[in-house]
Amino acid sequence: MKMLRFRSPSIRSLDQETLCTIRLLDDSEISCSIQRDTKGQFLLDHVCNHYNLLEKDYFGIRYVDPEKQRHWLDPSKPVVRQMKAQQPYMMCFRVKFYPNEPMKIKEELTRYLLYLQLKRDVYHGRLLCPFADAAYLGACIIQGELGDYDPDEHPSDYIRDFKLFPKQSLKLERKIIEIHKNELRGQSAALAELNMVQRAHTLETYGVDPHPCKDFTGSTAFLGFTATGFVVFQGNKRIHLLKWADVSKLKFEGKTFYVIGIQKEKKLVLTFHTSTPAACKHLWKCGVENQAFYKCAKSSQIKTVSSSNIFFKGSRYRYSGRVAKEVIEARESKEHF
């Protein structure tokens, strides 16, 4: 009779530590070691403790796999099981859920980190701005960095030292200088940053992390999720907004993503095609997480969601963490305490 042999992991493989480096919003980095069973929440807590950040729920840790596909680190699962890249691991700390009313955030640190994220969004072309808004946002950033305009210290081309936008024309730089000179004088760095956040919040692409895809006609579109609902952009124009209350299901099969909802009392099914199944799954996960965060009153009410109508088929995902309403209620109860 043959004996079955089971390969057991060595003591070294169980206790072996892996180095994780996390790039923060100001491009500085912090590192820590994790073990085989260390969950994603440990890394998020590590960054929040570094900052002494209380309002953790708006933030997440993002990584890119070897196929260049982006992912959000799942706090409830071991890090090593999620990462496909070679060690040591490199990740980024980012705003995951943009506050619906950023001016009501009480923690100054939370607002500052949101400002840094929006500054990145402007630089990478995610936060699309009409010319006047772009100039104002740019001037607020300059005021925060340099303080008041000083003709003795700031030569005529001083804005060129700052890379603020992906396409930064001379006309835009001149308008930024004009606003910096005349409109923002006397503002502290904190106030200038606050004004930047306030103006950014009014833009249609505030909080939109664009997912490229093709619509049913084959035209390129960018999908995103905001506090309000599901959005579709073509070029710089928002062509669709479906509020969370009207979205009944998000679903994917292979490379096809479906948004099922109700508009004008009629059933609506929107279909989009992504470049890879992994991109489609990431899009779906972002969608169900955003819907849960912004729509639900309590995290305990959120059920495990499936990508398919058939139970146990497709991908299943369980949201973890507090939802927006709970974050706000916790803040308000703390103020009244």
Q: Is the pLDDT of residue 278 over 50?
A: yes
pLDDT at 331: 66
My answer on whether 185 and 240 are in the same domain is no
Per-residue model confidence as pLDDT tens digits over 56-70 = 999 999 999 988 999
pLDDT classification of 333: cutoffs 50, 70, 90: low
Tell which of 70, 95, 120 closes a domain. Answer: 95
Is pLDDT at 19 greater than 90 in this prediction? yes
Question: Measured between alpha carbons, how far is 189 from 255 in angstroms, rounded to an integer?
Answer: 45
- Residue 5, pLDDT score: 44
In a domain, 72, yes or no: yes
Percent of the chain with pLDDT over 70: 88
| pLDDT, tens digit, 9 for 90 and up, residues 65-113 | 988 999 999 999 999 999 977 788 999 999 999 999 998 888 999 999 9
Same domain as 220, residue 145: no
Look at residues 169, 201, 233 and tell me which one is the last residue of a structural domain: 201
Judgement on whether residues 234 and 327 belong to the same structural domain of the protein: yes
**Mean pLDDT over all residues of the chain?**
88
Asked if residue 305 belongs to a domain, the reply is yes
Q: What is the mean pLDDT of residues 291-309?
A: 73
Whether residue 196 is found in the same domain as residue 221: no
pTM of the model: 0.88
Is the residue at 122 inside a domain?
A: no
Assess whether 244 and 277 both reside in one domain: yes
Confidence of residue 328 (pLDDT cuts 50, 70, 90): confident
Q: What's the domain range around 28? A: 17-95
**pLDDT band at residue 309, thresholds of 50, 70 and 90?**
very low
Is 255 found in the same domain as 194?
no
* 236 lies in some domain: yes
- Asked if 207 contacts 226 with a C-beta cutoff of 8 angstroms, the reply is yes
Does residue 268 fall inside a structural domain?
Answer: yes
Phi, psi angles (nearest 5°) of residue 273? -120, 125
CATH number at residue 137: 1.20.80.10
- The last residue of one of the domains, among 72, 95, 118, is 95
Which tops the pLDDT comparison, 128 or 331? Answer: 128
Q: Domains in the chain: how many in total?
A: 3
Residue predicted with more confidence, 326 or 172: 172
Residue 9 forms part of a structural domain: no
Is residue 24 pLDDT above 80, yes or no? yes
Q: Which amino acid is at 71?
A: H
Same domain, 253 and 293: yes
At 224 the pLDDT is 96
Both 308 and 239 in a single domain? yes
pLDDT band at 124 (very low <50, low <70, confident <90, very high): very high
194/227 same-domain check:
no
- Residue 303: the pLDDT is 65
Same domain, 260 and 172: no
Q: Are residues 221 and 215 in contact, defined by beta-carbon separation less than 8 angstroms?
A: yes
Distance CA 244, CA 252 (A): 18
| Tens-digit pLDDT profile for residues 206-217 | 999 999 999 999
The pLDDT confidence band at residue 154, using thresholds 50, 70 and 90, is very high
Residue 148 confidence (pLDDT)? 96
Q: Does residue 110 fall inside a structural domain?
A: no
The CATH number of the domain holding residue 282 is 2.30.29.30
Residue 30 reports pLDDT greater than 60: yes
Q: The domain spanning residue 40 has which CATH number?
A: 3.10.20.90
Q: Is residue 181 part of a domain?
A: yes
- Are residues 271 and 223 both part of a single domain? yes
**Rounded Cα distance, 169 and 8, in Å:** 62
Q: What is the pLDDT of residue 326?
A: 81
From CA 259, how far away is CA 280, in angstroms rounded? 12
Q: What is the per-residue pLDDT across 183-239, written as a single tens digit (0 to 9) for each?
A: 999 999 999 999 999 999 999 999 999 999 999 999 999 999 999 999 999 988 999
Please report how the helices 131-146 and 108-123 are oriented relative to each other, as an axis angle in degrees rounded to 10.
130
Read off the pLDDT band of 330 (50, 70, 90). Answer: confident
Considering the domain architecture, whether residues 50 and 146 belong to the same structural domain is answered as: no
pLDDT grade for 304, boundaries at 50, 70 and 90: low
- Specify whether the CB–CB gap between 317 and 305 falls below 8 A: yes
Say which residues have a Cβ less than 8 Å from residue 73's Cβ, sequence separation at least 6.
40, 43, 44, 60, 61, 62, 63, 79, 82, 91
- Rounded average pLDDT over 287-313: 71
